[in-house]
Structure 1
Amino acid sequence: MKRYLSVRGGVGDLTKADTSVRPQDNLYLAVNSAWQKNATIPADRTEIGVNTEIDMRIEKRVLADLDELASKKDKIDVPNLDKAIDLYKLAKNFKKRDADGAEPIKKDLRALESLTSLKELNKGIKHTNLDEILANPQNLPFSFEVEADMKNTKVNVLEFAGPGTFLPDTTSYKQADAPKLLTILSEQTIKLLTMAGVNKKDAREYVKNGLAFDQKLAKVVKSTEEWSDYPACYNPVSYEDFVAEFKTFDMAAALQKVLPIKPKQIIVMEPRFLEHAEELINENNFAEIKGWMIMSFINDHAHLLSQAFREAAFPFNQALTGQGELAPVNRHAYYIANASFSEPMGIYYGKKYLGADAKADVTDMIHKMIKVYESRIKENTWLSEATKQKAITKLKALVLKIGYPDKQEKIYDLLQIDPNKSLYENERNLEKVVVKYNLDQLTQPVDRTVWLMPGNMNNACYDPQRNDITFPAGILQKPFYDIHQSRGQNYGGIGATIAHEISHAFDNNGAKFDEFGNMKNWWTKEDFAEFNKRTKAAIDIYDGLQYGPAKLNGKQVVAENIADLGGLTCAIQANKIDHGDMKELFENYARSWAQKQRPEAIKTEIAVDVHAPQPTRVNIPSQCQDEFYETFDVKPSDGMWLDPEKRVRIW
C-alpha cells in the first residue's frame, strides 16, 4: 500500500473526477466525482456547480415572475419593484436598442473626445462636466466613496482610492498570457469605437495611449493580496494635505463641485497611489489619461447598446473566463434590472420563496451556533481571560440579518426610470443619482440597518464595521439548507456557513474591530502574537496549492480560510450537541462546494478573489478536524491524513 504523509488537500487533482477515490484519500473527489464526471458547463456560463445551480434556480424563478408581472397592470405590493420591471422591459427591448445603435452614447463619447487638458476637465466643457463623468467612477483615474469611519462607525467619511486596471489584477501583467489578453482588448476597443463613429486612426491612438496609462497604473495600484488586508486601507489624511498632492489637477475644485461639505480629512485607501498622484495625473500624461478614459467608457457601456455592441464587447471577457457565448437576452435584462434594484427584487423574492418556518429554524441555528462559539472561546487554551471576555462581548453584540430587510434603503425612492429614454440614458441617470446619494451621506449618520446583500442573492457575509451577519433568502435552500434535511446535512451546509460568517468577526481582519465595528485593539500583546502565529499557519497550509492552471496565494485568501476552518469546527460541535450524523455533515459540506470551472475562469478567479476556489475549500478544513479522522477511520497511510501538529486550529 502506498503511504501518504501529511498531504495538503488530499491525493488527486480536484479538477478531474475519480470515482474510485475514497473519502480517506480525498473527501471532495469521493463525494463529487460522480457528479463532476457528467457535469457540463453551459455555453453561456463560466462554471457549473452547487452554487451555480442555486443561482440558476433563483434566476428561473425571478425571470418567470418578472415576465408575468410585466404583462399585468396590477398594483405591486413591494415598493419600487415597478421601476425594476420597467428597467427590465427596457433592457429586453432589443428592437429599440438595435434601432438606436450607438446613438445613445455619442454625446458623452464626443464630450470625452473633445477634452484637451486636465484644466478643461476641471472647468467643465460644453456637453458634460466633472460631476456627470463622476456618475461612472470608472471614467476617472481615481475614485471616491463615502463609508463608515473605521475608527468611529457612527459617522461617515470620504474614502479615496485609485482605479482598477484593465487586466484582472496587478499580478496579471506578469503572466505569460498578458500580451495576448491586452491585444484582444485593444482589437475589441478599436472595433467598438469605430462602431460608435470614431475615426479608426483616432481609435487606435486612444487605445495606444490608454494602454500606456494602464501600464503605469498597474505599477502603483494595489494588488488583490494587498486589498485583502482591510485595516491597512485606513490612512487618514487632512483635506489640505490631500489636495496638495495634486499639483496639476485641481482636486480642491473637483471636490467642491461634487461634495455636499468640505471634509476635515480623507481616508486614503491606497497611500502608494496618492504618493504617485502627480506623477500619474499631469498635463504631460493627459493624452494617455484621455485614452484610458475613452477605453473605459466604451467597454463599460457597450452592453447597454445593441446586440451588435454586446457581441463586439464579448471577446475580452471570453478570453478572461472561457465563457462560450453571451448570456441570453432575458437573463441579461434581469442582471441589469437587478443591479440597480436589487433590494426591491430581493424583498419580493424573500417574501415569496422563504417561508416563516424556515426563517425561524435558521434563526434558531444561528443562535445555537453563537452559543457554540461562546463555549469554544471560554474553553480556548491559548487566550487570556481578558481577551476572552472582549471576544464574547463582541460575539453577543452580533446583529443578525436573515432573509430580507424589513424596509428599503432610501436610495430606491430616488431612482427613476423613463420608458421614453434609451437604456443607456436611464443607466447614466441612475448612476448619477447613486453617486450623489453616496456622497451626500457625508452629512448623514451611518445607517446600521442597511443590508450589504439583497434577499435574492445566494451568498452570506459579515460586515466588520457594523458587526453584523447577513443570510439572504437566496442561500437558504438545498443543499445548504432545507427544513426537511437532516440536522447533519444542514450543519454541513448552512451551519458551516453560519459559523464561517461568525468566524469573520475573529479572522485576521475582523479581529481588529470591536463590538461596535470600530477598529480598536482589544487583545493582549501575548494573545495577538499567538493569533498571528496561528494565522501564519493558515497562510502556509494553503500557499502554493495547485488548482488547475494556477496556484493559490495563501496571504490573499487567508481571511476566508480562517473562516472556513472556524466554521467547520463550530458546525461539528453544534452537530454533536444536536446528535446529528457526522458522516452526513462532512458529505454535505463537501457537496455544497461542488464546482466545475473553465481553466480561464480559474486563473482569473485566483488572481482577483479573496476566496479560494470552491473545491479547495473542502479537504484542508476537513483534514484539520479530529472528528473527520474518527468518522472515516482515516489512517496515517491515507491521502487525507495530516499529522496532528500540522492541523491548523484557530477557533
Structure 2
Amino acid sequence: MKINKIIGGAGDMFDAKPTSAQENLYLSVNGEWQETAKIPADKPRTGGFMDLDEAVEKSLMKEFEDFSTGKVAYPNELVEEAIKLYRVANDAEKQSKFHQQPILKDLQTIIDIKDIEDFSNKIVELSKSGYALPIDIDIDADMKDTTKNVVYIDVPGLILPDKTYYDEDNDSKEKLLSKYTEVVSKLLSMVGYDLEKAKSIVEQAKKFDSILVPIVKSSEEKADYTKMYNPMYFDEYTTKSKYLDLKSQVVGQINDTPEKVIIIEPRYVDSLDDIINADNFELMKSWMIVKLLMSNAGNLDEEFRQTVGEYSLALNGAKELQNRTKFAFHKATGYFSQIIGLYYGEKYFGASAKADVKKMIEKMTAIYKDRLANNSWLGEETKKKAIHKLDMIEVKVGYPDKIDDIYKKYKIDENISLYENISNLRRIIIQDHLDQYSKPVDRSKWLMPGHMVNACYDPSRNDITFPAAILQAPFYSLDQTSSQNYGGIGAVIAHEISHAFDNNGSQFDEYGNMNNWWTDEDYAKFKELTQKMIDEFDGIPYAGSTVNGKLVVSENVADVGGLRCALEAAKTESDVDLKLFFNNWARVWRLKSTQEFTDLLLSTDVHSPGPLRANVHAQNMDEFYPTFGVEEGMGMWLEPEKRVNIW
C-alpha cells in the first residue's frame, strides 16, 4: 500500500478539508487553517515557520525605524552601521537620482574584456569583485582534515533553478525562460542598449547557459553531500584548461600555491574546454553581463528593483514584491546578520531561556544515547563510536558570545549609492573569505544568526545550532505542556542530532572529518534502512507533482529519528499526553504555498513538503495508532512492516 492512500493529505493540500486524525493527522490539526489562511501578497508561502518569521520581521522593523529616526539610541556602533545601510536602501528618492549610473562601470569592465586570454588575465580581479564566472574558487574546511581550510573549485548556477526545469515535459520551462528574456531585455534597455543588441545579448547568454545544463549537477546529485569531495593535485588541475591560466586564478586569490584542490563537480572540470573557449567567448561575455544585471539590479533604484523583481514573482508565485522598507530591512539584516542576531537574542530570548533550552538538549542527547546503546541492528563497535560522536557534538543555542571580526570592517557611506555600498561590502566579504585559507578553521563560527527561524547541523564541525528565533511557540514555550514542547522543539533538537547519523552525516566522525567509522556489516544495514526511507517517500503525489525520494532522504532520516527520540522523551514525563505531542508535531509543519513555489521546492529542496513530514513520519511511529485509534482501512493506517524507523 502506497503512502498516498492518506486521504486528502499526501496528494491534495491545495483543496484541503478538515478531517479526523484517523484519516489525516495534518488536516485534523491544520485543515481549518488550510481553508482560510491567506498567503501574504509579498510572500510565496505561509505557515508554522513563516508565521514566526513574520513576527520577528515585524518586531525588528519597528526597532529599525526607531533607531533610524533617532527615537531610540543605538545600542552600539555595529548596529549603527546596519541602520545606515537600512537608511540608504530605504531612500528611494535618493537612489532614483543615481538610477543606472552605479552599475555602468562594472558593465564596462565586462565589455572591455577583449578575448579569452584577456579574460584569463583578469579573472582574479573579477572574482574578488564578485562577478559571476564560469569557474571560480571557494574556501572551506577540508572534509578529511577539518582543522585546515582548502581550496574548492566551484561551478556556476543555471538560469533556471535546477536542470530538471529544462526537461521538455516541465511546464515551467518556456514560461520562465520567456519571462527571464523579457526582464533582462528591459534591464539592458534601461542601461543604454538598443532593442536589437539587447535581444542578441540575452540569446547569447541563454545559449551559454544551455551548454552548462547537461554538465552541472542536479539538486538530487548535490544532495549526496560527500560526492563533492574530489581531491586533485594542483598540478593536475592546472592542466584542465587550454585557455585559462588556472594556476594564476588560484594562486592570485590565496597568495599561496596549494598542494591540492577539491573538485566539487568533476564532470564540469573535465568539460572546461568545451565550456570556455574562443568559440564561446562572446556567449560567455553576454552571460556575465546578464548575470551581473540580474544579481544587482535590485541594488539600484526602485524602477530597477521592480523590473528585476518580475522574474522573482514568476518564479515563486508571490503577488507583489516586498515594499521598499521591507527590502531595506532585509538588506541590512542580511549583511549585518550576526549583529542583528545578537541584538535580537539578548533582547527577546535572554539567558534564562537559553539555560532552559540547554537542559532540554541535554535530555534529548541522553535519550538519543540510550537509543543508540539499545539499538537492535548496530554492532557493539559501531555503537561505541556513534555514542562517542554524539558526546562530541557541540551545541550552540540562541546567539553567539562573540561577533566575527569582519563586521568591524563594515563602514556604510550614506553619501553614495546603495549599489556602491553593497559592492564595497561584497569585496570585504570575499577578501575575508579568501584570507581564511591561511588560517585554521574557526570552529566557533555560527552558521545561523539569532533572529533566524531555523536550526542546523554542520557535519564538518559536528555541531548543532538553534537560533533564538525558533525557540518560541509553537516550537517551545514555558506555557506549553512538556508533550507539546517535545512535539515541537524536542523533535527539532533530535532532528538536528539525527543529521549526525543520516546518509551524509554518518560519513563524518566526531571531529567532523569524512571518515568511515562503521563496520562493513553495520553500514550495509544502514544503507538498507535509508533505501527504505527513499522508497517510502519516492513518488508520493503532491500538488500536481511527485516527491523525489533521493533528494529528500537525508532530511527524512533526520525527521524520523528526531520524532522517535522526542517521543521517547515525552513518554518519560509525568504529564505525558501523546495526542498533544502528535498534534503539535503536525502544527509546526502547517504550510500553504503558491503552486510556483511548491514546484520550486519539489525540484530543489532537500526537505519534503511540511504536510508530508507531519503525516508520514507520524505513521512510522507505532504509538501513533493507539493514541488516535487508527485501524486498518483508515487513511492514516500503514502496515507495521512498512513503517520505517532508523534511530
User: Any idea what SS the aligned residue of 1:471 has?
Assistant: strand
1:458 aligned onto 2:453: yes
- Residue by residue, what CA displacement relative to the aligned partner does 1:29-75 show, whole Å, maximum 9, x if unpaired? 11101111110111111011111111100001111111111222976
Code of the residue aligned with 1:136 in structure 2: it is G
Structure 2 portions without partners, runs of 5+:
none
Query: Residue in 1 aligned with 2:148?
Result: 155
Code of the residue aligned with 1:493 in structure 2: it is G
Query: Residue in 2 aligned with 1:607?
Result: 603
Query: Residue in 2 aligned with 1:26?
Result: 24
Per the TM alignment, residue 577 of structure 1 is displaced from its structure 2 partner at its CA by: 0.8
Query: Residue in 1 aligned with 2:54?
Result: 56
Checking the alignment, whether the CA contact within 8 Å between 1:6 and 1:643 is kept in structure 2 is no
Per the TM alignment, residue 319 of structure 1 is displaced from its structure 2 partner at its CA by: 1.4
User: Any idea what SS the aligned residue of 2:638 has?
Assistant: coil
1:105 aligned onto 2:103: yes
- Residue by residue, what CA displacement relative to the aligned partner does 1:132-175 show, whole Å, maximum 9, x if unpaired? 454325x1112311111100010001111210001010111001
CA separation of 1:115 and 1:200: change in aligned 2, threshold 3 A: farther
Checking the alignment, whether the CA contact within 8 Å between 1:480 and 1:494 is kept in structure 2 is yes
Alignment of 1:583-622 (within 5 A): 583-622=579-618
Checking the alignment, whether the CA contact within 8 Å between 1:41 and 1:596 is kept in structure 2 is yes
Greater CA deviation, 400-409 or 608-617? Answer: 608-617
Distance 1:487 1:271 in 2: 49
Checking the alignment, whether the CA contact within 8 Å between 1:549 and 1:602 is kept in structure 2 is no
Checking the alignment, whether the CA contact within 8 Å between 2:14 and 2:543 is kept in structure 1 is no
- Residue by residue, what CA displacement relative to the aligned partner does 1:194-234 show, whole Å, maximum 9, x if unpaired? 10112322221111110001011111111111111111110
1:140 aligned onto 2:133: yes
Distance 1:550 1:80 in 2: 46
CA separation of 1:79 and 1:451: change in aligned 2, threshold 3 A: farther
Query: Residue in 2 aligned with 1:388?
Result: 383
User: Any idea what SS the aligned residue of 2:150 has?
Assistant: strand
Distance 1:9 1:466 in 2: 40
- Residue by residue, what CA displacement relative to the aligned partner does 1:507-530 show, whole Å, maximum 9, x if unpaired? 000000000000000000000000
Query: Residue in 1 aligned with 2:94?
Result: 96
Alignment of 1:433-472 (within 5 A): 433-472=428-467
Query: Which of these residues, 125, 131, 135, is aligned with residue 131 of structure 1?
Result: 125
Checking the alignment, whether the CA contact within 8 Å between 2:67 and 2:73 is kept in structure 1 is no
Checking the alignment, whether the CA contact within 8 Å between 1:346 and 1:404 is kept in structure 2 is yes
Per the TM alignment, residue 7 of structure 1 is displaced from its structure 2 partner at its CA by: 3.6
Structure 1 outlier segments of 4+, above 6 Å? none
Cα RMSD (Å): 1.4
Checking the alignment, whether the CA contact within 8 Å between 2:17 and 2:34 is kept in structure 1 is no
- Residue by residue, what CA displacement relative to the aligned partner does 1:537-576 show, whole Å, maximum 9, x if unpaired? 0000000111102211100000000000001000000000
Distance 1:375 1:98 in 2: 62
CA separation of 1:190 and 1:643: change in aligned 2, threshold 3 A: same
Query: Residue in 2 aligned with 1:305?
Result: 300
Code of the residue aligned with 1:117 in structure 2: it is D
Per the TM alignment, residue 443 of structure 1 is displaced from its structure 2 partner at its CA by: 0.4
Distance 1:268 1:292 in 2: 23
Checking the alignment, whether the CA contact within 8 Å between 1:9 and 1:619 is kept in structure 2 is no
Query: Residue in 1 aligned with 2:247?
Result: 252
1:649 aligned onto 2:642: no
Query: Residue in 1 aligned with 2:64?
Result: 66
Query: Residue in 2 aligned with 1:639?
Result: 635
Alignment of 1:467-478 (within 5 A): 467-478=462-473
Query: Residue in 2 aligned with 1:172?
Result: 165
Checking the alignment, whether the CA contact within 8 Å between 1:350 and 1:473 is kept in structure 2 is yes
Greater CA deviation, 58-67 or 307-316? Answer: 307-316
Distance 1:514 1:253 in 2: 35
User: Any idea what SS the aligned residue of 1:583 has?
Assistant: helix
Greater CA deviation, 358-367 or 582-591? Answer: 358-367
Distance 1:114 1:206 in 2: 15
- Residue by residue, what CA displacement relative to the aligned partner does 1:428-453 show, whole Å, maximum 9, x if unpaired? 11111111111111100000000000
Per the TM alignment, residue 80 of structure 1 is displaced from its structure 2 partner at its CA by: 1.7
Checking the alignment, whether the CA contact within 8 Å between 1:539 and 1:558 is kept in structure 2 is yes
- Residue by residue, what CA displacement relative to the aligned partner does 1:10-42 show, whole Å, maximum 9, x if unpaired? 221441455451101110011101111110111
Alignment of 1:390-405 (within 5 A): 390-405=385-400
Distance 2:557 2:156 in 1: 29
CA separation of 1:284 and 1:532: change in aligned 2, threshold 3 A: same
Return the TM-score normalized by structure 2: 0.97
Distance 1:256 1:20 in 2: 61
Checking the alignment, whether the CA contact within 8 Å between 1:361 and 1:483 is kept in structure 2 is no
User: Any idea what SS the aligned residue of 1:556 has?
Assistant: coil
Distance 1:428 1:348 in 2: 25
- Residue by residue, what CA displacement relative to the aligned partner does 1:561-601 show, whole Å, maximum 9, x if unpaired? 00000010000000001232111010000000001000011
Greater CA deviation, 483-492 or 351-360? Answer: 351-360
Distance 2:409 2:177 in 1: 39
Query: Residue in 2 aligned with 1:277?
Result: 272
Distance 1:252 1:370 in 2: 46
Per the TM alignment, residue 83 of structure 1 is displaced from its structure 2 partner at its CA by: 1.4
Query: Residue in 1 aligned with 2:531?
Result: 536
Query: Residue in 1 aligned with 2:620?
Result: 624
Return the TM-score normalized by structure 1: 0.97
Query: Which of these residues, 40, 45, 52, is aligned with residue 42 of structure 1?
Result: 40
Greater CA deviation, 551-560 or 14-23? Answer: 14-23
Query: Which of these residues, 379, 392, 409, is aligned with residue 414 of structure 1?
Result: 409
CA separation of 1:318 and 1:576: change in aligned 2, threshold 3 A: same
Checking the alignment, whether the CA contact within 8 Å between 1:565 and 1:621 is kept in structure 2 is yes
User: Any idea what SS the aligned residue of 1:156 has?
Assistant: strand
Code of the residue aligned with 1:70 in structure 2: it is S
Greater CA deviation, 379-388 or 175-184? Answer: 175-184
Code of the residue aligned with 1:567 in structure 2: it is G
Greater CA deviation, 173-182 or 286-295? Answer: 173-182
CA separation of 1:595 and 1:114: change in aligned 2, threshold 3 A: same
User: Any idea what SS the aligned residue of 1:184 has?
Assistant: helix
Code of the residue aligned with 2:378 in structure 1: it is L
- Identity over the aligned pairs, expressed in percent? 43
1:483 aligned onto 2:496: no
User: Any idea what SS the aligned residue of 1:370 has?
Assistant: helix
Code of the residue aligned with 1:599 in structure 2: it is Q
- Residue by residue, what CA displacement relative to the aligned partner does 1:320-344 show, whole Å, maximum 9, x if unpaired? 1111001011110111111211000
Code of the residue aligned with 1:470 in structure 2: it is T
Query: Residue in 1 aligned with 2:202?
Result: 207
Distance 2:612 2:292 in 1: 36
Query: Which of these residues, 366, 372, 379, is aligned with residue 377 of structure 1?
Result: 372
Distance 2:77 2:255 in 1: 28
Distance 1:51 1:575 in 2: 22
Checking the alignment, whether the CA contact within 8 Å between 1:8 and 1:541 is kept in structure 2 is no
Per the TM alignment, residue 78 of structure 1 is displaced from its structure 2 partner at its CA by: 4.4
Query: Residue in 2 aligned with 1:316?
Result: 311
